Chains A and B, each alone.
Chain A
Amino acid sequence: MTRFMLALIRMATPRADREFVVGDTLEELAHIGRTESPAAARRWLRGELWRVLMAAPQHRLTARRQARHVVRHAAGPQMEDGYIRNSFRSMALASDVRDAWRGLRAGRGTTALAFAILTIVIAAGTITFSIVDAVALRPLPFASPESLVAITRISRAGGAPGPAAPQDYFSWAEGVTALESIGASRGGAPLRLQDDDGEAVPTAAVTANLFDVLGVGAFAGRLIGPDHARAGQDAVVVLSHALWTRHFNSDPGVIGRPVTLLDWRGAPATREVIGVLPRGVIFPMAAGMPDPGLFIPYVPTEADRSHASPGRTYAMWVVGRLAPGATIDQARADIERVSASFGTTPADIRVMPLHERVVGPAGSWLLFALAAVGVVLLIACVNVASLLLARASVRVRELATREALGASRARLARGFLLEGLMLSLTAALVAVALSFRGVEIARTLLPENLARTSTIAVDARVLIVSIAVSALCGLVFAMAPAWLASRSNLIAVTKAGGGAVIGGRRSSRTLGGFLVAELAFVSLLLVATTLIVTSFVVVTTMDLGFDRRNVMSIGYSKSLQAVAEADRPAAAAVLRDDLLARVRAVPGVESAALLINAAPLSGSSVRYSIEVPGFGQTMGDDMLETRMISPGYVETMGQQLISGRTFNESDRAGAPLVALINEAAAQRFFGGRDPVGEVITFRGPTTIVGVLRSVRFQGPEADVRPELYTPVDQERIPGAQTFGSLVVRTAGPAPLVATAVRDAIRPLLDGADPAQAQFIDEQFQRLTAGRRFNASVMTFFGLVAVAIGAVGIYGTMAFFVAQQVRAIGLRMALGATPSRVMRAVLRDAAWRVLAGVAIGLAGAWAISNAFASFVYGVTTTEPRVYVMVAGLIAAVSLAAAVAPALRAARVDPLVALRTE
């Protein structure tokens, strides 16, 4: 960024002063960095660049004038022929550039409008491209990334590929032969840097060979290797490039220095910084996880290696490198074979190219957004083309004069191309400057399901694409006027009189065609926008089967080690009653209940099978989402009872076993008859006492599943640990009460910390963040497109009216009323709008399949969407055409005819 800004300053400075200006700028940058702060220095450089760019055109002109003065006076006969010829040629180009600059300045209104349109669109395009490029397009920053394979676990049917357990990793690392090497990175709680603001930095514990597997070398220092995998040698840390730049000011001296890191409890540990990773190199690059800034050695425990250990922590992101000659299919078969040896079925494992795991499903959406930007860019190009064409048409006198003075047609055409190029490149320059900031803003708005977001930046690659596309656009939209200028008989046109324009009918036809094309693209884009926004509305307003607002869940656990085994269930029940009593007494709490197993929208899922008379054992997809709940849970969550009753205080241990099921289960297992009173088998004969409305546990876009609820007090709490979650409904926003609730229950847990509160509405926002982002991006693109379209209609119709002033005047002199004239203009506009919308909608219909995977709850050929888009465009177009129509109606026949 700094280098780019310096290069721009250099470019904008007259050659003679470059060395001194750049040198001074560097010196000043260092001075401010030293006396104030690096941030202040960067801020100053941004301001400096801005001031330089604003002043640049004048500087360049002054410099050129001086240069020409020198050339003219110095280029005497002693100069060589070639030099003179060259300098003439460059003077011809220079004068063309000057003419183009004058041309742009003469039509200031048009230029400003075209400039504004191009700047907005190019900035939007640059920002979008830099995101798409970093997240989806760019190859992974590892050696031969195509032979890297991700091995992931699927936690639930249709779920995203997630991390594996350490036990999985060690078995794979030993048994799989189709992979040359396997490494892993284990996510953990962030560590806090003790030195200043205590920034919490996401941290990854990496296996000793991970960086070898990835083929990554250190940017500075060295990386974690086999030496560090032993206890005692593991007090080292490697920094990500981003953290090193941001937090350590890119100081190479940090290597070898100790840093103190606080874990989540605040306990300090000192590690030696041994190295820095290259820029952009991070692992695991997992969607939904912040990119780690600190890498520490992973030191496995005995339990981590043993399949016999009772617990599993799924936190290992595993990556392997294919052995020479091995294919990913062989690796997959090999991994499945090894996994079977520890009882994991292929359905639980997903093996895929690392790139696919990193980009994930968001990749296709990003490409869709990029396509949308492309369409907006096309709209802008067509629009600017028609603006320039309209203006070129009225510059006929100037052009004819120049032709009469000997300018060739090619030279005139070149002038237009140069104008287009200058316009688009200046716009690109400003747009790029804007995108540096824009990308920073956009990054904070990105949904969490994107990986590699920390590498998003406007870099050389993005700049090249952005500038090249802009230059191409400049040439394309300047083509129309250039072509007209090279074809028309300018002198004849001038003789024909004042009101004529180049090409006459031909240019009107081209302009009309442009308008139709522009509106077609706008309609196409609006259909996509409407579908995506509708999906967002459908998803966020969907009835989830419970009330997600003002509810939180707080996990707790307590050891019952001290209690005799026979008394543990009673002790657990007493604890639960105490917890509820305390929580209900907290001001702001409306109701509270207990839950064992995952809360709605938490992303996890626990399923059991039951035996239903007449149906049999419910296996596979018929397994039920199972929750143990206390009385009051149904009311606290805002779930609805459809028939029967909910649980009450008499559903205790020792009482007859009872259960609630949901509608989906009643439908599936009882064929629609009322199941209340039926007896199923789940840990013994259990009577169904009620039916609840189905809940969308995994989020608005997941299907409803059969559910089973049993009373928490009838649960056989195994082991010496009792645990669960409190679900708490509050009167106001739940976060305000969370601390008070946690404080209230802490004494009951022997001072152990209850888990952080999970706010269910927050989870919902997170689940729908992708859709929200898509919808806002598309809304933005849609609005830009409609605005540009409206400008296009206004401009084109105003041009037509101006062009036909004499004809209109004549008609009015012959008795046409103003309202008839107005209607004629509007009718003219209406036909073009109709044609454009029809083509655009037909196009959208034809490619609607491409939208299908981005849309939820609405079909891509929904007629109402198309009607709405047509209506919207018609309304906007009409509004935009009214002003030109009114102007036509106000034509004074006398004035119009007198100009003849």
Chain B
Amino acid sequence: MDYIHAVAPLPIPGEFEQLVLLAVLRLDAEAYGATIRREIETRADRRLSISAVYTTLDRLEQKGLVRSWTGEPTPQRGGRRRRYFELTPLGARAMKLAHEAYVGMAAGLEQRLKAIR
């Protein structure tokens, strides 16, 4: 597996995909549609729909950056199941690279960025 990853170019997540990946990472075992949406709304102040979260997660899953499994049905959801997500090793690596790139580019600019109104 790792061999393939080494030769195939690492998919670079887009900006919104990064938000979703970070939310999944942060939520750990509790990462599913509703919690991910809430996390992004409260932390990044973005209004987004649950189904937009799923569209992105479906795409990330196709790229091999996340994987999902289905939980047990619960009564508060009218007997519907939850779909939980976690980062694949590939996803974690992609996120790390994206983060490093971001931090590297932003280094030393913190004061100036903060000063912008």
Interface, chain A (partner B; CB < 8 A) = 9, 12-14, 16-17, 19-28, 30-31, 47-48, 51-52, 55, 59, 62
Q: Give the interface centre of A16, A23, A25, A26 by most chain B CB atoms within 10 Å.
A: A23
- A47, B48: Cα distance in complex, Å: 9
Per DSSP, chain B at the interface is: helix
Choose from B48, B74, B76, B82 the contact partner of A51 (Cβ within 8 Å).
Answer: B48
Considering the complex, give the chain A residue whose CB is closest to the CB of B84. A20
Listed A/B pairs (11) with beta-carbon separation below 8 Å: A13-B54, A17-B51, A19-B80, A20-B83, A21-B33, A22-B80, A26-B76, A27-B77, A30-B76, A52-B51, A52-B52
Choose from A21, A26, A47 the contact partner of B54 (Cβ within 8 Å).
Answer: A21
The 8 A CB mask of B83-99 against A (1 = contact, 0 = none) is: 10000000000000000
Q: Check B52–A55 contact: CB distance below 8 A.
A: yes
B58 beta carbon closer than 8 Å to chain A: yes
Q: Using Cβ atoms and an 8 Å threshold, which residues of chain A touch B32? A: 20, 24
Q: Check B76–A27 contact: CB distance below 8 A.
A: yes
Q: A9-B51, A21-B51, A30-B76 are in contact. List 10 more A-B contacts (CB 8 A).
A: A14-B55, A23-B77, A23-B81, A23-B82, A26-B76, A27-B34, A27-B77, A28-B34, A47-B47, A55-B51
Those of B14-68 within 8 Å (CB) of chain A: 32-34, 37-38, 47-52, 54-55, 58
Q: Nearest-CB distance from A33 to chain B (Å)?
A: 11
Q: Check B54–A17 contact: CB distance below 8 A.
A: yes
Q: Using Cβ atoms and an 8 Å threshold, which residues of chain B touch A25? A: 34, 50
Considering the complex, give the chain B residue whose CB is closest to the CB of A53. B49
- A20, B82: Cα distance in complex, Å: 6
Which 10 A-B pairs have CB atoms at the shortest separation, nearest pair first?
A23-B80, A24-B33, A23-B77, A24-B34, A51-B49, A20-B83, A17-B54, A28-B34, A52-B49, A21-B51
Q: Using Cβ atoms and an 8 Å threshold, which residues of chain B touch A62? A: 55
Q: Using Cβ atoms and an 8 Å threshold, which residues of chain A touch B76? A: 26-27, 30
Q: Check B49–A24 contact: CB distance below 8 A.
A: no
- A20, B38: Cα distance in complex, Å: 15
Q: Using Cβ atoms and an 8 Å threshold, which residues of chain B touch A19? A: 80-81
Considering the complex, give the chain B residue whose CB is closest to the CB of A52. B49
Q: Nearest-CB distance from B69 to chain A (Å)?
A: 12
Choose from A14, A26, A31 the contact partner of B80 (Cβ within 8 Å).
Answer: A26
Considering the complex, give the chain A residue whose CB is closest to the CB of B78. A26
Considering the complex, give the chain A residue whose CB is closest to the CB of B38. A28
Q: Check A28–B81 contact: CB distance below 8 A.
A: no
Q: Using Cβ atoms and an 8 Å threshold, which residues of chain A touch B48? A: 51
Q: Nearest-CB distance from B30 to chain A (Å)?
A: 12
Instruction: Give the interface size class of chain B.
Output: 20 to 34
Q: Using Cβ atoms and an 8 Å threshold, which residues of chain B touch A48? A: 49-50
- A28, B37: Cα distance in complex, Å: 9
Q: Using Cβ atoms and an 8 Å threshold, which residues of chain B touch A30? A: 76
Q: Using Cβ atoms and an 8 Å threshold, which residues of chain B touch A27? A: 34, 76-77
Q: Using Cβ atoms and an 8 Å threshold, which residues of chain A touch B74? A: 23
Q: Using Cβ atoms and an 8 Å threshold, which residues of chain B touch A51? A: 47-49, 52
Q: Give the interface centre of B32, B76, B77, B82 by most chain A CB atoms within 10 Å.
A: B77
- A23, B73: Cα distance in complex, Å: 9
Per DSSP, chain A at the interface is: helix
- A27, B34: Cα distance in complex, Å: 7
Q: Check A55–B49 contact: CB distance below 8 A.
A: yes
Q: Using Cβ atoms and an 8 Å threshold, which residues of chain A touch B55? A: 14, 17, 55, 59, 62
- A62, B52: Cα distance in complex, Å: 12
Q: Check B50–A21 contact: CB distance below 8 A.
A: yes
Q: Using Cβ atoms and an 8 Å threshold, which residues of chain A touch B83? A: 20
Known contacts A28-B38, A51-B52, A59-B55, A20 near B47 by CB under 8 Å: no
Q: Using Cβ atoms and an 8 Å threshold, which residues of chain A touch B52? A: 51-52, 55
- A817, B76: Cα distance in complex, Å: 77
Considering the complex, give the chain B residue whose CB is closest to the CB of A10. B51
Q: Using Cβ atoms and an 8 Å threshold, which residues of chain B touch A20? A: 32-33, 54, 80-83
Q: Using Cβ atoms and an 8 Å threshold, which residues of chain A touch B49? A: 48, 51-52, 55
Interface Cβ pair total, 8 Å cutoff: 73
- A16, B34: Cα distance in complex, Å: 17
Q: Using Cβ atoms and an 8 Å threshold, which residues of chain A touch B58? A: 16-17
- A49, B33: Cα distance in complex, Å: 16
- A22, B49: Cα distance in complex, Å: 11
Q: Give the interface centre of B33, B49, B58 by most chain A CB atoms within 10 Å.
A: B49
- A12, B82: Cα distance in complex, Å: 19
Q: Using Cβ atoms and an 8 Å threshold, which residues of chain B touch A28? A: 34, 37-38, 50
- A51, B80: Cα distance in complex, Å: 22
Q: Using Cβ atoms and an 8 Å threshold, which residues of chain A touch B77? A: 22-24, 26-27
Q: Check A59–B50 contact: CB distance below 8 A.
A: no
Q: Nearest-CB distance from B103 to chain A (Å)?
A: 31
Q: Check A31–B34 contact: CB distance below 8 A.
A: yes
- A755, B78: Cα distance in complex, Å: 55
Choose from A26, A31, A59 the contact partner of B51 (Cβ within 8 Å).
Answer: A59
Q: Nearest-CB distance from A873 to chain B (Å)?
A: 46
Q: Nearest-CB distance from B95 to chain A (Å)?
A: 23
Q: Nearest-CB distance from A199 to chain B (Å)?
A: 31
- A812, B34: Cα distance in complex, Å: 68
- A108, B110: Cα distance in complex, Å: 45
- A20, B51: Cα distance in complex, Å: 9
Q: Check A13–B51 contact: CB distance below 8 A.
A: yes
Those of B97-114 within 8 Å (CB) of chain A: none
Q: Using Cβ atoms and an 8 Å threshold, which residues of chain B touch A21? A: 33, 50-51, 54
- A16, B15: Cα distance in complex, Å: 25
- A9, B80: Cα distance in complex, Å: 15
Q: Nearest-CB distance from A370 to chain B (Å)?
A: 36
Q: Using Cβ atoms and an 8 Å threshold, which residues of chain B touch A17? A: 51, 54-55, 58
Q: Nearest-CB distance from B61 to chain A (Å)?
A: 11
- A19, B80: Cα distance in complex, Å: 6
- A19, B68: Cα distance in complex, Å: 14
Q: Using Cβ atoms and an 8 Å threshold, which residues of chain B touch A13? A: 51, 54
Q: Using Cβ atoms and an 8 Å threshold, which residues of chain A touch B82? A: 20, 23-24
Q: Nearest-CB distance from A711 to chain B (Å)?
A: 72
- A19, B82: Cα distance in complex, Å: 8
Q: Using Cβ atoms and an 8 Å threshold, which residues of chain A touch B50? A: 21, 24-25, 28, 48
Q: Using Cβ atoms and an 8 Å threshold, which residues of chain A touch B80? A: 19-20, 22-23, 26
- A527, B78: Cα distance in complex, Å: 55
Q: Using Cβ atoms and an 8 Å threshold, which residues of chain B touch A52? A: 49, 51-52
Q: Using Cβ atoms and an 8 Å threshold, which residues of chain B touch A12? A: 51
Q: Nearest-CB distance from A214 to chain B (Å)?
A: 34
- A55, B80: Cα distance in complex, Å: 24
Q: Using Cβ atoms and an 8 Å threshold, which residues of chain B touch A55? A: 49, 51-52, 55
Q: Nearest-CB distance from B50 to chain A (Å)?
A: 5
- A17, B52: Cα distance in complex, Å: 11
Q: Nearest-CB distance from B71 to chain A (Å)?
A: 10
- A643, B38: Cα distance in complex, Å: 80
- A19, B32: Cα distance in complex, Å: 13
Q: Nearest-CB distance from A710 to chain B (Å)?
A: 71
- A27, B73: Cα distance in complex, Å: 12
Q: Using Cβ atoms and an 8 Å threshold, which residues of chain A touch B51? A: 9, 12-13, 17, 21, 52, 55, 59
Considering the complex, give the chain B residue whose CB is closest to the CB of A55. B52
Q: Using Cβ atoms and an 8 Å threshold, which residues of chain A touch B33? A: 20-21, 23-24
Q: Nearest-CB distance from A330 to chain B (Å)?
A: 53
Q: Nearest-CB distance from B80 to chain A (Å)?
A: 3
Q: Nearest-CB distance from A14 to chain B (Å)?
A: 8
Considering the complex, give the chain A residue whose CB is closest to the CB of B49. A51
- A27, B30: Cα distance in complex, Å: 14
- A750, B80: Cα distance in complex, Å: 68
Q: Nearest-CB distance from B93 to chain A (Å)?
A: 26
Q: Using Cβ atoms and an 8 Å threshold, which residues of chain B touch A31? A: 34, 38
Q: Nearest-CB distance from A433 to chain B (Å)?
A: 15
Considering the complex, give the chain A residue whose CB is closest to the CB of B48. A51
Q: Nearest-CB distance from A15 to chain B (Å)?
A: 12
Q: Nearest-CB distance from A28 to chain B (Å)?
A: 5
Q: Nearest-CB distance from B51 to chain A (Å)?
A: 5
Q: Nearest-CB distance from A663 to chain B (Å)?
A: 68
Q: Nearest-CB distance from B100 to chain A (Å)?
A: 30
